[in-house]
Structure 1
């Protein structure tokens, strides 16, 4: 093993370096160079391995630090966040719907029993028809709204007319419609007059539909079985309820409040 202990003509006596080379750092301590360099093979192997690892990391870091790859990393990160957010929202909505379906709601009141033979809810608009009154004057049917329209041809419905007139509010008219041409001599039905609720501020009108257009338009076939067809019509002309056959106020009295 060689050492720096002897001068050997290699190092100046004053401690300087040969040929003007700078001194070695003091923190390196004493450096011993073996006579046989093969003794450093283990150290050389370790240093080379470290250099390879450092070179591999540096190349990969340099590769991943390129601007194009940085953009791809950001896009990939954003594309992963969006599906995760969608899946999370879907799970939350599913859980909320399960809780809502399992949560007990308010008890439903039983539906009102209908005693009429058939009933149509929300049957559209009242046709814009001109009918004829007892003095042969033309009267617009829609001008009487809101109204309860009773189609009474073939029916002795005085009791139904009186009950309906007594049940409606003052602003609701009771319109009695008789289909077909007037007989000769005339025997047209007329509403009660002085001894009826009409004298108490209620409006009752009797009109004739010579061509039976109201029945045909609303598909209300005439039946001579002692029943009347009833239309409950709002102020805007909407038919709130249509009853093809009834003889009792109870079949539609609960719906009068909807006019």
Structure 2
């Protein structure tokens, strides 16, 4: 064994110098022989393990060249970008699925469109000028609010009388017919101005062209009358296409 004088400061008992750390305990006791030929068995074992690998092939030699190594690095860099993009796309898709499946705050139900919530289109009384019995033109909007009765083909004397009795003094009753004055003389209701009945305004007017019925899109005359309730602002509040009784619109008179 080599002594302490020729081993660079190692102690004679095999310990390490003061300025060097000790060897790991798992290495065990390390003995360095004076004759290196004693390690020939270990040398042969290492050489046998190295000989099992065999010489490198041409492909291995080619891949070990610097150009091939640079090419591998470039290929790895090029492939890394698509992999990153695909990974991000997968993450976004998964996040979207979680977001759509995650229960959010309850939504308020949309209000259903019913006859009570959706206001009807407000129609207005047309600015027509009709004829009185004396041939003078009378503006249909001249006296509002009013109950207008279209009486063509109708024996409506009772309906007109009941309407006059039902309305207040501020509401006019206007009977409109397409018949001429000569036809009125033959027995149909009189057209033209009439004196107020019990302080109420009543008018009989003639509409030869049937313009009012056309504007209101009413059906052809039959044995019934049509009632139109108009407020002070010319808004048509109610249209009763066919009626013979005041009861069909009595409850609407309070809206005028």
Unaligned runs of 5+ in 2: 1-16, 26-98
Q: Deviations over 1:156-214 (max 9, x none)?
A: 111111111111122111001111333268345238968xxx44321111111122111
Q: Deviations over 1:94-134 (max 9, x none)?
A: 3xx37x99xxxxxxxxx9xxxxxxxxx75612111101112
1:125 aligns with 2:124: yes
TM-score by structure 1 length?
0.52
Distance 2:184 2:23 in 1: 141
Higher relative contact order at CA 8 Å, sep ≥6: structure 1 or structure 2? 1
| Partner residue in 1 for 2:239 | 242
Q: How many residues align?
A: 158
| Partner residue in 2 for 1:214 | 212
| Partner residue in 1 for 2:190 | 190
Q: Is the 8 A contact 1:127 1:214 kept in 2?
A: yes
How far is the alpha carbon of 1:244 from its aligned partner? 1.6
* Cα 1:186/1:122, change in 2 over 3 Å: farther
| Partner residue in 1 for 2:175 | 176
Q: Is the 8 A contact 1:152 1:178 kept in 2?
A: yes
Q: Is the 8 A contact 1:131 1:140 kept in 2?
A: yes
* Cα 1:185/1:168, change in 2 over 3 Å: closer
TM-score by structure 2 length?
0.52
Distance 1:204 1:212 in 2: 20
Distance 1:243 1:205 in 2: 19
Distance 2:225 2:127 in 1: 21
Q: Is the 8 A contact 1:182 1:210 kept in 2?
A: no
Q: CA RMSD in A?
A: 3.5
Distance 1:91 1:193 in 2: 71
Alignment of 1:36-115 (within 5 A): 36-39=19-22, 91-94=104-107, 97=108
| Partner residue in 1 for 2:163 | 164
Distance 1:179 1:35 in 2: 134
| Partner residue in 2 for 1:200 | 198
Q: Deviations over 1:28-82 (max 9, x none)?
A: xxxxxx625123989xxxxxxxxxxxxxxxxxxxxxxxxxxxxxxxxxxxxxxxx
